[in-house]
Amino acid sequence: MPVIDFHNHYYPPNYMKALQSGESSVRVTVDSDGNPNLHYPGDYNVAVRGHRDLAYRQEVLDRHGVTMQCVTLTTPGTHVEKAEVAVRLASMVNDEFKEAMETRGSHFTALATLPLNDPKASLREFQRATGELGMRGAMLFSNINGLALSDERFWPIYEAANDIGAVMYIHPEHPVNVSQMEEFWLMPLVGFLYDTTLAAASLTFNGVPERFPKIKWALCHLGGTIPYLVERLDRGFHNFKDCRAKINRPPSTYLKEFYYDTVNFDQGALKLAIDFAGADHILAGSDYPHQIGSIPLMLEAVDALPVPDEQREGIRWKNAARLLGLEERVAR
C-alpha cells in the first residue's frame, strides 16, 4: 500500500548556503558531527543529512516503504528576515522545491514557503508558486513575528488561495512569551502545540474559513490541542457575543473541515482526532528528519489504528493524494 508523508521538512542547499553566508539574520553554528544548527528563540534545529541531502533521503524513504513526501520549509522560516531578504530567500526555496519535484518527482512534491512579513510580496510569491511552479498550496506559520494569521493583511493571500482551492498548512512558530519556555525544550514540546491551537481558533472566530470556504486548511501535530479543546471553543461561541460576531455556526463545525496530520503518535490522541474530524481528514506525517520525528513511529501508529482498511488506506495516502491532486500518479 502506498504511503504519503505529509509532514516533513527540507532545507534546500542554496538556502542553507545563504543562511551560513551572513546575509541572513538566523544564527547558524556547526556541531561536532558537522551538522548546521539553526538557532531561534526557545529552540534550535539540527540540520542533519536527511534535511539537506535528497539522494540520501530518497534511500531512507525506499528503506521504510514510503512512496512520497510533501516537503516544506520549517522554522525559523523566511519571515524572520528583513523583508527584502525574506522575499529573496522564499523565492530561492521555492525554486529549489520545484527542482526536487522535477528531478525526483516520484518521491517528492512540495508546498511553497512565503515571505510572510511582507504580505504583498507573499501574494505574488504564492501566485508564482501555485502557477508557474505547479505547487498545490503553501505552508504558513502560526504567527508572523507576533502577528496573527487571522489579520486582514493576509486576506488577499487567502482570497487567491480560495480561488484555486489551495492547501494552506499551518506549522507552529515560536510563540509570544517564548522566554517562559526556554528550559526543558518546553517551546517545541508545549509552545508549538498551543500556538497552532491559537492560530486555528483565531482564524475560525475571525471568520476566515467562512469567508474563504474553498481553502483546504491543514494543521500540524494533530492540530495542537484543537481536538481536545474544541468543545470549549463551542462554549465560547454560545456564551460570548464576541465569539459570534463573525461566524454563523459553532467553531467545531469549521474545524471538523480542517485536516490533521499524525505527528502525535499516541493511539488515544489519534482516535480522538478521528472521532472529531473523521478518518478522511487525517494525514500520515512523520516530522522527519527532526530529532523528535520518526518515520517508523508514523507507520506503526497508523498500522495500529482500530479502523477499517479503507480508512487506514485513506490515512496512509489517499487523503493526502486527494488534497495534492496526486491520486492517479501515486496509485500507478
pLDDT tens-digit map of 98-127: 999 999 889 999 999 999 999 999 999 999
Domain containing residue 146: CATH number: 3.20.20.140
16: in domain = yes
Question: Strand, helix or coil at 221?
Answer: helix
Percent of the chain with pLDDT over 90: 90
251: in domain = yes
Q: How many domains are there within the chain?
A: 1
In this prediction, residue 240 carries a pLDDT of 95
242: in domain = yes
* Separation CA 325–CA 319 (nearest Å): 10
Q: Is the pLDDT of residue 191 over 80?
A: yes
In this prediction, residue 183 carries a pLDDT of 84
DSSP state of 180: G
In this prediction, residue 281 carries a pLDDT of 98
DSSP state of 188: I
12: in domain = yes
* Separation CA 89–CA 306 (nearest Å): 43
11: in domain = yes
pLDDT tens-digit map of 52-93: 999 999 999 999 999 999 999 999 999 999 999 999 999 999
Average pLDDT over the chain, rounded to whole? 95
Q: Is the pLDDT of residue 186 over 90?
A: no
pLDDT tens-digit map of 258-302: 999 999 999 999 999 999 999 999 999 999 999 999 999 999 999
332: in domain = no
194: in domain = yes
In this prediction, residue 26 carries a pLDDT of 93
In this prediction, residue 74 carries a pLDDT of 95
Summarize the confidence of residues 35-39 as an average pLDDT.
Answer: 95
Q: What is the pairing mode between strands 282-283 and 108-110? A: unpaired
Give the residue from 200, 10, 27 showing the smallest Cα distance to 111.
10
Domain boundaries, position 161: 4-326
Residue 192: in which H helix or E strand, if any?
Answer: helix 192-205
Summarize the confidence of residues 26-37 as an average pLDDT.
Answer: 95
pLDDT tens-digit map of 148-175: 999 999 999 999 999 999 999 999 998 8
Give the residue from 323, 289, 288 showing the smallest Cα distance to 135.
323
300: in domain = yes
105-109, 226-230, 303-307: range with lowest mean pLDDT:
105-109
Helices (H), 267-313: 267-277, 295-304, 309-313
In this prediction, residue 40 carries a pLDDT of 83
